[in-house]
Every structure is written in C-alpha cells, then in structure tokens.
Structure 1
Amino acid sequence: MELMTRTKNGWLPNLLEDIFDDRLTENGFNTMKSLPAVNIEEKEDKYTLELAAPGKTKKDFNIELDNDLLTISSEIKEEHKSEDKDRNFTRREFSYESFKRSFTLPDTVDTNKVKANYKNGVLTVDLPKRDEAKKQPKRLIDIS
C-alpha cells in the first residue's frame, strides 16, 4: 500500500501539488474538497441538478427555495466527529464538511413542482419547466 501517490510523470509527489495549489484558503484547506461537485443538465421538459455527496443521508441535506434562489446545504454532524476522534489516521481524505451552494433559477422553472431525491451518494433535484417554456411542436398558422 502506498501512502503517497506520484503524479502522472512519476517525479513529484501529489503533496507538492497540494502545497502550491492556488485554490487553498487562508486556513490551509482546499476549497474544492469542501464543495461537492455539481452537474446541471437541461432536458426538453426540465433541468436536472446532480450534486455528488457520498456518505450522507437524505436527512443531512437542507434544500431551500426562496423565489428564484435554490440553496442546498449540509451541516457537519456530531456523530461523524465523535466516530473519528479515537481513530489514528495516516492519511485522511474522507470529508464530512459543511457546505452551502446556491443557484439562481431561470424564470422558466416551475418552482411549485421542484422535487429532490438522494440515492447512491448523489442528490438529484428536478426543476420542471413551466408549460409555456417547453418547446412547442411546429404548427401551421392560418391566414385570415
């Protein structure tokens, strides 16, 4: 088992990349590790937002919709802190950090029909489009 992995070219350890990474915050933590990755897909009848958050349960999330601002957040649970307190890690990359992400929704979203589901480490939020925003089939216009 390797405790330190090497870069693609095999010369420098990843530790050096972490030290010189420009995404470090003032407290020394990488901001990319505390924000879960998000995919947003536009379909004909809805937008689908997928947020990668493995190791959580659906009770860990708070999803708020304030007018056109969708906010997804999760707080650190005390049980995670106490579980890890007595363990001796040589490397620790699992993260149970709090996060908060906000998304401004377009006017085309029907905010009364937003639904969320958490399965296999991915939080999926369906954002249905309003009927008038959906693509209409082609039709002929009669001339009067």
Structure 2
Amino acid sequence: MKTLVKTNTLPTFESMMEDFWNTDGFFNQPILARNNYPNVNILDQDSKYEITVSAPGFKKNDFKVDMDNGFLSISAETSKESKEEKKNFLRKEFSTSSFCRSFRLPDNITDEQIKANYQDGLLNISIAKVDNGRGNHKQIKID
C-alpha cells in the first residue's frame, strides 16, 4: 500500500521574497529568457528526414535556412512596433524576437534535396536521403 504524503505547493512569503531578490529569476522563472528556442521535432523516415519547427508569430520571410559544411541552421527574426498619439499623450512600444538553431546532419543527405515550407506557425523541412553505399551488404574477397 502506498503512503500519501501531503505537501504544500503554495510558496511561502519568505520563499517568494528570496525568489524576488534572486538575480537568476522571479518565482523560479528567468527574468530574461536565455534559451528562447522553439520546439523542434525530427523524424527519421525511410527515404527522408522531416524537421518541424514550432514558430508561431513569424512570417515566411522572417526565416533563413542555411546548409553549410554538414550543418543545417534555422534562424528567424521579427520585430513589431506600435505607436499611439493623443493630446498630451504618446505611447510607443516595440518588441523583437529571434532564434537560431543548428543541427549536424548525417552523411546520407545531399544539400540539393532540401525543401522547406511555412504554414500555420510550423516550419517544415524535408531532407531526402541518398544512397551513399553505406548499409549495403557486400562480401569482401580476401587475397
């Protein structure tokens, strides 16, 4: 039989004050997110690799996808600005968002067979596999 242990999940005032004055964050959440990367799924299929990046709020033109020396780099940057003016009142706000992710690709791909599209907040990248002779069975003659 399992034993039930009652716990108090609400923070105490003392712990909230410690969290508030801690320079690493507020309520165990980083004040400035240092690792603001989008979620990525990588699927290894028989004939291709499928990479899906969850990046809502971006437009297709915000993305840059590069292949260089066996590394696939995915980056995006966007900025927004709003301005409101009234008599004796001016409010101007702006925000920027960016990320960059890089992945080392296996040897069984070629950079000529990479396709990407962006729709409904998802960047989908398809990388076709090529047969480079690895994995095929070959009997070696011994001299």
Please report the TM-score for the alignment, with normalisation by the length of structure 1. 0.64
TM-superposed CA distance for 1:68, in Å, is: 0.7
Q: Structure 1, residues 50-97: CA drift from partner, whole Å, max 9, x if none? A: 0000011110101111121111111232xx1x1388489xxxxxx851
Structure-2 change in CA distance of 1:96 and 1:41 (3 Å): farther
What is the RMSD computed on CA atoms of the aligned residues? 3.4
Match of 2:34 in 1: 31
Larger Rg over CA atoms: 2
Instruction: Check conservation: 1:36, 1:51, Cα contact below 8 A.
Output: yes
Rounded Cα–Cα distance in structure 2 between residues aligned with 1:117 and 1:10: 43
1:106 aligned counterpart, secondary structure: coil
Structure 1 unaligned blocks of 5 or more: 1-8, 89-94, 137-144
Pair 1:47–1:112, CA change in 2 (3 A): same
What is the letter of the counterpart of residue 57 of structure 2? G
Aligned partner of 1:11: which letter? Answer: L
Residue matched to 2:130: 130
Find the aligned partners of 2:127 and 2:104 in 1 and give their Cα distance: 12
TM-score (norm 2): 0.64
SS of residue matched to 2:97: coil
Counterpart of 2:139 in structure 1 is none
- The amino acid that maps onto 1:59 is N
Where relative contact order (Cα < 8 A, 6+ residues apart) is larger, the structure is 1
Q: Structure 2: which 5+ residue stretches go unaligned?
A: 1-7, 20-24, 85-90, 137-143
User: Aligned partners of 1:60, 1:96: CA distance in 2, in Å?
Assistant: 12
CA distance 1:97–1:135, change in 2 (3 Å): same
- Give, in angstroms, the shift of residue 132 of structure 1: 3.9
8 Å CA contact 1:63–1:71 kept in 2: the answer is yes
Match of 1:108 in 2: 108
